[in-house]
Homo-oligomer: A and B are copies of this chain.
């Protein structure tokens, strides 16, 4: 392998990220009306995001939802709520002994109106995350808007017409998200083309393209879950022999722990966009996204999203896989950590 090393004057991973940054704007494209299927397909072809300002502002949901109407339509219904002490469901958590784990939320059933009262009441106290015992977030991502929340489904579009026509498929899942400003979704990616629709409050996205794989410090983390202990206290319970590859770099943390960054993190050029009520975001497949939120005047944040299956044909998937393999090797992660 000595001969190999001699010729390694180009770092392909650094070159990939810098070439991408040179050829692409760090600012998201903004549309003022929904795209045609063809216009959308041009963005899909480039795997580039865009926001449609006010693209959903005439939806019934955007025009009629508030705490009172949501409570009325979901009266008497239980919903699944993710409970965490720090508002970080499905996130890397550094435990007291300095170990990083991938911790999933406790999931509890709760009457919808009690859940909303909790979320809104907490928001109105103005408390910071360190001063609360727990944070609740409806975020099951299991097609919940066509199941648990089906009473609301008639008030959003069944699917996104321009995405359905362009991609020639119906959404695989339509999800509703309800929470307050104390919940954050950690940086991660999904194998889906994603249309995100803001209804109440705002979402603040930090975005990174798939080529930034080597920047996000993906690690194979032991899987764990928040569990209720006596007196309602939340504690981490490890799940046996199960680990998850997950990004540990936080684009908002200027001084990350050494093990939560890589030598390439400094090359990342995060793209930031805030969705206002009625705005839509196209979040392309495999893009990393971190999402935080702020609430409406009533103290709530509500959004819906549409997941369309990724296209595995063509060169995009194999090439992203190459970027991952090369990045992993460059970072000298042991092969058993590669998934």
A12-B325, A41-B45 known; A7 and B318 CB under 8 Å?
no
Is A125 in contact with chain B by the CB < 8 A criterion?
A: no
Is A241 in contact with chain B by the CB < 8 A criterion?
A: no
Is A258 in contact with chain B by the CB < 8 A criterion?
A: no
Is A38 in contact with chain B by the CB < 8 A criterion?
A: yes
Bound CA–CA A125/B35 (angstroms): 58
A10 to chain B, nearest CB (A): 6
Bound CA–CA A148/B168 (angstroms): 43
Neighbour of A318 across the interface among B5, B19, B41, B329, CB < 8 A? B19
**Binary CB contact string for chain A from 1 to 18 against chain B (1 if under 8 A, 0 otherwise):** 111110111101001100
| Cβ–Cβ contact A322 & B321, under 8 A | no
Which residues in chain A, 272-327, are within 8 Å of chain B measured between CB atoms?
311-323, 325-326
| Cβ–Cβ contact A322 & B12, under 8 A | yes
Is A210 in contact with chain B by the CB < 8 A criterion?
A: yes
A8-B329, A325-B10 known; A313 and B1 CB under 8 Å?
no
Interface size class of A (residues with CB under 8 A): 35 or more
Neighbour of A19 across the interface among B7, B321, B326, B332, CB < 8 A? B321
A45 to chain B, nearest CB (A): 4
A319 to chain B, nearest CB (A): 4
B residues in contact with A94, CB < 8 Å = none
Least CB separation from A21: chain B residue: B318
A19-B318, A38-B165, A46-B313 known; A338 and B10 CB under 8 Å?
yes
Is A44 in contact with chain B by the CB < 8 A criterion?
A: yes
| Cβ–Cβ contact B319 & A23, under 8 A | no
Neighbour of A319 across the interface among B41, B168, B211, B334, CB < 8 A? B211
Q: In the complex, which of the residues A8, A24, A45 has the most CB atoms of chain B within 10 Å of its own CB atom?
A: A45
Q: Which 8 A-B pairs have the closest CB atoms?
A: A46-B314, A45-B45, A1-B5, A319-B319, A41-B41, A19-B318, A12-B325, A20-B318
